[in-house]
Amino acid sequence: MKIEVNNIYKSYHSKHRDIDVLKDVTFSLEKGKFYCLKGDSGCGKTTLLSILAGVIKPDKGQVIVDDTNLTALSEDKRTKLRRHTIAYIPQAQEVIEDLTVEENITLVDYFEGKKVNQEKLEEVVNILGINKLRKEYPRELSGGEARRVIFARALYQGASVIYADEPTNDLDKDNREAIASIIKSITEKGVTFMAATHDEGLMCRANKVFALQ
Amino acid sequence: MKKRSIGALAYKNIQNNKGRYFKQAAMVMVLTWTMLLGLIIIVSISSGLERLRDRMGADLMLVPLGYERSAEGILIKGEPKYFYFEQDIMTQLENADIEGIERLSSQFYLTSSNQGCCDIPVQFIGLDKDSDFTIKPWIKTLYVNEKDYLNDGYIVVGSSIDVPEDGKIRFYDQYFTVAAKLDQTGSGLDNAVFLNRTTTKTLYEAALSKGFNFMDGCDPLKTVSSVFITVKDGTDVKRVSQQIRSHIDGVQVIATDGMIGSTQQGLEGFISLMYILIGILIVLSFVILSLSFKLQVTERKDDYKLMRTIGVTKGEIRKLVLSQAFILSIIGSILGLVLATVSIFPFYTAINAAVSIPFLIPSGIKLVLLYLVTGLIGIIIGPLGALGSAIRISGGLEER
């Protein structure tokens, strides 16, 4: 999978002023690589990830995902891309409390009217090391375990690219290390991973670090 | 493993958090319970009056002057009464030769006693088998040959009277064989016992021997309590009524339509009020459910946002919210219908005895329709109440 980001502009308009968040952002991402996006708070990292994930549209510019112009698609089509191709993990995203870990991971099957892909599920829970937690409810999980469940869901859905906003936020050192290793093993399976982060430990494991100013 | 679906997810959400969703189901349950009860009561009253009108079979009823209320009490309220014409009313009617009268039939009233000599308290109505047109069309169960149902020693009972296994009921220490049971009217006639004049005389004499003297010098074979009259087709009932009054003194002429009509009029206000209350309840339920769903959906805003993030479309979120509302409505409706059923049917006899108006619980198609309409309203109101919230929350992630 190749992702090209060409000349992205994005502004927010409020009553009193216009804020130019992103100005002429251009880069490309390659399959199976780990990228970090760094920058000061408010510099546009979350906005950029949201655009890359198809959650919002830029004012100008394109995001090409394997020859498909993501920014030209309708909202429904962009939403459906997030079902399998693109995974977006916003900051502080939780899991659904009323569903078990397994049900959280396979959530998209409810909306596709499918049976659970047991093979895929097994593979994913083993990669993330949460096999024993499948029947637990999220209230019984630690912060690190909940984060793994979120990654497991992204992998179960077959994402080719994962965008994560501060994936190691609020985690202790051991859990940050664990998440960093998980990201590495995910990318080794050919999944492209981009994380917006302040975590230096994560950044030094990345293939490339983009800096937003 | 079964295929998953939005409906299955909706059900799972409810299952895993019953406390959160109980309120909505309870609201629908209360709505359907109250609505079905109310509608059954309304239809029962209307049906009772209609059935009584059909059952009377007569256009006019003659009673002694001043006894209109007593006649109403017997027919409508089921209050056992007795009264008699002092004159030979049948001869007077014959001699008056009033135009337009098609048929005449007289009745003689007695009541049972609440002393130990009678098995049950009832109204006795003695009638002439040959001229009677008020009970034969309404026989539901015949225990003897059809031609024998009003023979000497036999009685015909109203629908509320239980027939013992041996088919005999004791009045004034005399046993009488039940020949037939009549169809239900929901009126006072359901507690009446019908017998021919000879059997009435036997009963009267039995009552006398027990010390109950209904009228001095009364001859049950000749004395009359009321006369039922049908007029010929095309005849003006009012004109016949006026003619009777002008030819015969001491008689109250009651148009049976008018008797029932005045009762009906009195009840119309009550029925209208019931409909209004049901309407208010439906609107109130909708408002409360809308607010409740709004709160509940707001509570789960983050979950819906998460779903949008992982690729669930706005339409699918709406479907999920509405599916939850639909499932809760079905549960509430079923519970409400069951509660209404156990609230009224086991207590029908007691209700009928307690109310002093014709009350005939609907059956067959009418009843099925009532259940269907109520159930349908109960099932629809939840999703309707949730619709606004479903549309609002499906926006989820903002498009900026």
Per-residue pLDDT of B171-180, as tens digits, reads: 888 889 999 9
Give the integer Cα–Cα distance in Å for A36 and A47: 15
Residue A103 has a CB neighbour count (10 Å cut-off) of 21
**Contact residues, chain A, for B13 at CB < 8 Å:** 98-99
- What is residue A98's predicted lDDT score, i.e. its pLDDT? 87
Three-state SS for A23? strand
Give the integer Cα–Cα distance in Å for B333 and B231: 50
Is the Cβ pair B309, A98 closer than 8 Å?
no
Scanning every residue of chain B, which has its alpha carbon at the shortest distance from the alpha carbon of A76? Answer: B313
Vertex A50 angle, CA A45 and A52, to 5°: 95
CA distance B19 to chain A (A): 12
Give the residue from A110, A115, A137, A155 with the most B CB atoms within 10 Å of its CB, the best one to mutate. A110
Size of interface A-B (CB pairs under 8 A): 86
Of A95, A97, A111, the CB nearest to B316: A111
- What is residue B356's predicted lDDT score, i.e. its pLDDT? 67
Whether residue B348 is predicted with pLDDT greater than 60 in this model: the reply is yes
What b-and-e string marks burial along B205-214, b requiring 16 or more CB atoms within 10 Å of the CB? ebbeebebeb
Whether residue B26 is predicted with pLDDT greater than 90 in this model: the reply is yes
User: Does the CB of B19 have a partner CB in chain A at under 8 Å?
Assistant: no
Query: At which residue do the structure tokens 């009446």 appear?
Result: B192
Strand partners, B61: B228, B254
List, for residues A108-134, the tens digit of each pLDDT value: 999 999 999 999 999 999 988 999 999
pTM of the model: 0.78
Average pLDDT, chain B: 86
Give the residue from B310, B318, B320, B398 with the most A CB atoms within 10 Å of its CB, the best one to mutate. B310
Helices (H), A68-131: 75-84, 101-105, 107-112, 118-128
Residue B219 has a CB neighbour count (10 Å cut-off) of 11
- What is residue B264's predicted lDDT score, i.e. its pLDDT? 75
Whether residue B16 is predicted with pLDDT greater than 60 in this model: the reply is yes
B359, with CB counted inside 10 A (0-12, 13-18, 19+), is buried
Average pLDDT, chain A: 90
Closest CA to A213 of A55, A45, A47, A68: A45
Give the integer Cα–Cα distance in Å for A107 and A149: 11
Whether residue B48 is predicted with pLDDT greater than 70 in this model: the reply is yes
What ipTM was estimated for this complex? 0.90
Cβ neighbours for A202, distance < 8 A, ≥ 6 positions apart:
A36, A167, A168, A176, A179, A180, A183, A195
A68: left (phi over 0), alpha (psi -120 to 50) or beta: beta
A72 phi, psi to nearest 5 deg = -90, -5
- What is residue A42's predicted lDDT score, i.e. its pLDDT? 80
Q: What is the mean pLDDT of residues B315-340?
A: 95
Q: What is the mean pLDDT of residues A18-23?
A: 86
Closest CA to B271 of B41, B90, B3: B41
Is the Cβ pair B311, A157 closer than 8 Å?
yes
User: Does the CB of B4 have a partner CB in chain A at under 8 Å?
Assistant: yes
**Contact residues, chain A, for B308 at CB < 8 Å:** 79
Three-state SS for B160? coil
Give residue B396's pLDDT band: very low, low, confident or very high (50, 70, 90).
low
Q: Residue type for A142, please? A: S
CA distance B393 to chain A (A): 16
Is the Cβ pair A82, B310 closer than 8 Å?
yes
Per-residue CA distances from B11 to B1, B21, B369 (Å): 17, 11, 29
Is the Cβ pair B4, A106 closer than 8 Å?
yes
User: Does the CB of A43 have a partner CB in chain B at under 8 Å?
Assistant: no
The two beta strands, B168-171 and B192-196, are: unpaired
Q: What is the mean pLDDT of residues B282-292?
A: 92
Of B17, B302, B400, the CB nearest to A56: B400
Whether residue B397 is predicted with pLDDT greater than 70 in this model: the reply is no
B165 phi, psi to nearest 5 deg = -60, -35
CA distance B32 to chain A (A): 29
Query: How does DSSP classify residue B184?
Result: P
Query: At which residue do the structure tokens 């999978």 appear?
Result: A1
- What is residue B399's predicted lDDT score, i.e. its pLDDT? 47
Scanning every residue of chain A, which has its alpha carbon at the shortest distance from the alpha carbon of B397? Answer: A55
User: Does the CB of B398 have a partner CB in chain A at under 8 Å?
Assistant: yes
Strand partners, B63: B252
List, for residues B201-238, the tens digit of each pLDDT value: 888 888 888 887 777 667 777 788 999 898 888 889 88
Six-digit token string for A146: 């909940």
**Contact residues, chain B, for A95 at CB < 8 Å:** 306
Residue B71 CA, chain-centre distance (Å), reads 20
What b-and-e string marks burial along A131-155, b requiring 16 or more CB atoms within 10 Å of the CB? eebbeebbeebeebbbbbbbbbbbb
- What is residue B114's predicted lDDT score, i.e. its pLDDT? 65
- Chain A 125-184, residues with CB within 8 Å of chain B CB atoms: 153, 157
Q: What is the mean pLDDT of residues A48-55?
A: 93
Of B4, B303, B400, the CB nearest to A110: B4
Of A99, A103, A108, the CB nearest to B311: A108
Give the integer Cα–Cα distance in Å for B300 and B313: 16
Give residue B371's pLDDT band: very low, low, confident or very high (50, 70, 90).
very high
Closest CA to B171 of B216, B122, B213: B122
Three-state SS for B46? helix
Of B2, B12, B310, the CB nearest to A99: B12
Q: What is the mean pLDDT of residues B144-170?
A: 87
